[in-house]
Amino acid sequence: MMWKNVCLLFAVVLIGASSRAQMAVPKLVSNGIDVLEQDHFSELKQLAAKHGDHLRLALMTNQTGVDSKGIRTLDILVSDAAREVPGLTVVNLFSPEHGINGVLDRHDIVNDRDQATGLQVISLFGATEAQRRPTKEQLANLDAVIIDLQDVGVHFYTYETVIGYFLEAAAGTKTDIIVLDRPNPIDGIHVQGILSTPGRDNYINYTSEPVRHGMTMGELATYFKASKKLDTQLTVIRMDGWQRSDWFDATGQLWINPSPNLRSLRQAILYPGIGLLERTNLSVGRGTDTPFEWVGAPWLDARKVAGYLNARNIPGVKFIPVQFTPGQNYPFNGQLCHGFEFIITDRDKLDSPELGLEVASALYKLYPDTFQIDRVDRLLLNQPAVDALKGGEDPRSVTSRGEKDLRQFKRERAAALLYK
């Protein structure tokens, strides 16, 4: 019995060592707001001097906009310490998708008011396209707009479009755009996925990009300004201590859900691929405790599909058959879904956008009359790639055919990179 216990302990140690092998030793990365505080608001003082010793600003933010102590960026900007900046006045707030507190999951968010400060919150996720763009009129009496949002590194995540729209609205005006930078949680090394088709720009695709772009918000803003040739005054307050190879668990920072259904780094790693499937007739786990970790539908044979996908030997991931019941008015609310869980075995080897294509291809082959594969294009925004999958082309081949465009994108983004 003693030997059995020793063996068990040894196995636990080995498993722990294996799981830690992909994790860097945590350090404490200072985000843009932390650097701003550490510099005693020097960047804002310079802007105030530029604007005649006053700085009327608005803040675009949500629940992720806090410093390393958990203090809201807004509260820092209205604090006694910020009074060192001549004429600093916070005029109003802007909020993105999911609202100022990041808890709303609907498409018609109205204006609000911050309870602590009384400041108006202008929602930029209203029911119409016009209500999702800041206007030059809204910026007319502002010297600057500060943006402090946590992105997740995927082209169809709408927070990056918000940055693009602010850069456009401020172009040719005297209003500065200031980005308080934060980490790309799924690192800045991996650039993966088929590029969206040029000319299909919309709210989930600000410009032609791969699914996983490998940039921070500050880098995206720099890239957008250059690629769109925008005459905008942009300042990025860079992080201190972040490196391109850092995943979020190497930053020493507290995970704050950037949106209601992204609740962990694991989910963020899977999101570039599994997110591509959520406009189809599948549940991607919304309305459960494991969004983007489980996929299923009432019409699916869990063991059959998991077995098919495991036989594909997809690097970095395995599949376990499961069943679950979504709730909260999400797809298949209250219905038993049969599906599979994604087990990440090596995040550095996993091509998550290609994983999405693998699942789509498998389901179309196994259920050609049921699975709505054409709806993958609603987020991928590359119909030729979807057509290739429908024609039976191997997902790896479909990804490979996009390598030339991906290399070109990497060359174009190189000048926008701010970190090594």
* Residue keyed to tokens 């755009």: 177
Q: Contact at 8 Å (CB) between 67 and 73?
A: yes
In terms of Cβ atoms closer than 10 Å to its own Cβ (0-12, 13-18, 19+), residue 45 is: middle
Question: Is residue 144 classed as helix, strand or coil in its secondary structure?
Answer: strand
CA distance 400 to 194: 9
Q: Contact at 8 Å (CB) between 226 and 215?
A: no
Q: Residue 134: its pLDDT value, please?
A: 97
Label residues 361-379 b or e (16+ Cβ within 10 Å = b): bbbbeebeeebebebbbeb
CATH 3.10.105.10 fits 265-381, yes or no: no
Least confident of 6-20, 40-54, 68-82, 181-195: 6-20
Q: How confident is the model at residue 283 (pLDDT cuts 50, 70, 90)?
A: very high
Q: Residue 383: its pLDDT value, please?
A: 98
Q: Residue 127: its pLDDT value, please?
A: 92
Q: How many percent of the chain have pLDDT more than 70? A: 94
Domain residue spans in the chain? 32-257, 265-381
Q: Residue 392: its pLDDT value, please?
A: 97
Q: What is the mean pLDDT of the chain?
A: 94
CA distance 356 to 246: 23
Stated pTM of the model: 0.92
With a cut of 60, say whether residue 10 has pLDDT above it.
Answer: no
Partners of 234 in the β-ladder = 177
Question: Span 225-240, mean pLDDT?
Answer: 98
CA angle 6, 11, 14 (to 5 degrees): 125
Q: What is the CATH number of domain 32-257?
A: 3.40.50.12170
With a cut of 70, say whether residue 404 has pLDDT above it.
Answer: yes
Per-residue DSSP letter, 241: S
Q: How confident is the model at residue 328 (pLDDT cuts 50, 70, 90)?
A: confident
With a cut of 80, say whether residue 307 has pLDDT above it.
Answer: yes
With a cut of 70, say whether residue 89 has pLDDT above it.
Answer: yes
Q: Residue 22: its pLDDT value, please?
A: 52
Q: Which residue has the higher pLDDT, 18 or 52?
A: 52
Q: What is the pLDDT of residues 182-232, one digit of tens each?
A: 999 999 999 999 999 999 999 999 999 999 999 999 999 999 999 999 999
Q: Residue 25: its pLDDT value, please?
A: 62
* Residue keyed to tokens 């991928």: 380
Partners of 259 in the β-ladder = 262
CA distance 254 to 274: 24
